[in-house]
Amino acid sequence: MALTSTIRVDDQPHLAPMGRRLRAIFVGSVGNLVEWYDFYAYSAFALYFASSFFPGSDPVVQQLNAAVLFAFGFIVRPIGGWLFGHLADHYGRRNALMLSVLLMCFGSLMIAVMPTYASIGLAAPVLLGLARMIQGLSLGGEYGTSATYLAEIADEKNRGFYSSFQYVTLIGGQLCAILVLLLLQQVFLTPLQLKTWGWRIPFAIGALLALVALAMRSNMHETDDFIAAKKVARTGSSIRTLMKYPREILVVVGLTMGGTTAFYTYTTYMQKFLKLSVGLNDLQTTIVTGGSLIFALLLQPTYGALSDRIGRKPLLIWFGVMGTIGTIPLLYSLQAAKSAFAAFLLISAAWLIVAGYTSINAVVKAELFPTNIRATGVGLPYAITVSIFGGTAESIALWFKSIGHETWFYYYLTAVIAISLVVYLTMRDTKYSSAMGTHD
């Protein structure tokens, strides 16, 4: 089945087919960027607001408590993956994407106006955890639906390239959070102002941006694949239909384990690692984190385009092999780094490896499932796996550090990547055996 643009020709007669497709990617991706900005703002500013919700004098323990609440956002992601996957598969990708960004707006607004521990005691971290769970529900639905949307608007020859923009915007969202942090740190606020009230600003910005994304998504059009699938009679629930694909479910879980743990290690945890373990100051930490994210962002479409030429499997195997071999020496070297530039080079080297997974994992999962169960098939098993491995990566790393065995985490990450490598070696290459265009 030939895939065409989701934007109607009569709506945009002045645009060439490529222009229509690029516009659809832009509209679909901007909302994704805003959602991930809102989600990552928590991690980027945790160094400043942790003490407002968790009293005490040990900064490592405060960050560990904040990381535990960060993990709370992952607990409900499987529910979001199922709920929004069901909505996307039965009522359209557009409706599901609009609802997910609306929920993210509400969660961010809650954090922006949240009372602190000094004001309401234990209720403060409880409400913060609730807000994180609302954001996690939203994000659980965002991944599967946006991955499905981007894969379905792409032409077959460039599907890896187009789908890689999911992680371009995902990383871009975190980069925007880092940029806001840098501006507030260096231009607008003092460290004391940031710690007392300035940390609320990025969440207020995120809520406003989510409303903009909602307006943009209201103009999105359904994919041709979904419209065609609606003509095919379907019975039963999404879960019952999904259970017809046990091998595909296990492949999603297996290929995600190592990749999501590595991704959250070099994104959300890395900021704390650079400050608490490497010993960089606030400005150096922000610049190194931001610079490495820019490098990672540029790698995504490069690797995605490469997968359209050589297949998906070689890139996954590259990540699996090099992640298994290189993680321990990379993290040991990073811990011993003597300068911010050396730290940047080492994190960039890690991204050369991790991008083998991040750039194409979404399209691989989308290519495993037929249209009528695709959003659920991509979103639900992925969300469960991320909740178990990705969402806990930072907490596990900080816990090892708090008990005096920080390097144990290096071996844990290596082991998880090695398990995923087994899946990469045994799975089929979805570029050459795709379920895209098929209906159950």
- Per-residue pLDDT of 183-201, as tens digits, reads 888 888 888 888 888 889 9
Could you tell me the two tokens for 308? Answer: 């359209």
Could you tell me the two tokens for 373? Answer: 């169960």
For position 312, what pLDDT does the model report? Answer: 92
The answer to whether 217 and 6 have CB atoms below 8 angstroms apart is no
* CA-to-CA dists, residue 272 to 40, 83, 147, 158, angstroms: 13, 33, 29, 37
CA of residue 261 relative to chain centroid, distance: 11
E strands present in 80-216: none
- The domains of the chain, with CATH numbers, are 17-426 (1.20.1250.20)
Q: What is the mean pLDDT of residues 129-139?
A: 83
Q: What is the mean pLDDT of residues 3-32?
A: 54
Q: Using only the alpha carbons of the chain, give its radius of gyration.
A: 21
Could you tell me the two tokens for 25? Answer: 């990617």
Question: If we measure between CA atoms, which residue out of 360, 379, 332 comes closest to residue 424?
Answer: 360
Work out the widest C-alpha separation in the chain, in whole angstroms: 64
pLDDT tens for residues 205-239?
A: 988 888 888 887 777 776 767 777 676 655 455 77
* 62 has pLDDT over 70: no
* 346 has pLDDT over 90: yes
pLDDT tens for residues 367-396?
A: 888 878 888 888 888 888 988 898 788 888
Q: Report the C-alpha gap between 437 and 433 in whole angstroms.
A: 12
Q: Report the C-alpha gap between 33 and 36 in whole angstroms.
A: 5
Q: Report the C-alpha gap between 192 and 90 in whole angstroms.
A: 50
For position 362, what pLDDT does the model report? Answer: 86
* 5 has pLDDT over 50: no
> What's the mean per-residue pLDDT of the chain?
82
φ/ψ of residue 428, rounded to 5: -80, 160
Q: Report the C-alpha gap between 261 and 413 in whole angstroms.
A: 7
For position 187, what pLDDT does the model report? Answer: 82
The answer to whether 292 and 347 have CB atoms below 8 angstroms apart is yes
Q: Report the C-alpha gap between 206 and 209 in whole angstroms.
A: 5
Could you tell me the two tokens for 295? Answer: 């490098």
Task: Name every residue whose Cβ is closer than 8 Å to that of residue 149 and which is 6 or more positions away in sequence.
Answer: 6, 28, 93, 97, 223
Q: Report the C-alpha gap between 116 and 128 in whole angstroms.
A: 9
For position 11, what pLDDT does the model report? Answer: 41
Could you tell me the two tokens for 19? Answer: 């222009």
- 58 sits in the region (left: phi over 0; alpha: psi -120 to 50; else beta) called beta
Q: Report the C-alpha gap between 262 and 266 in whole angstroms.
A: 6
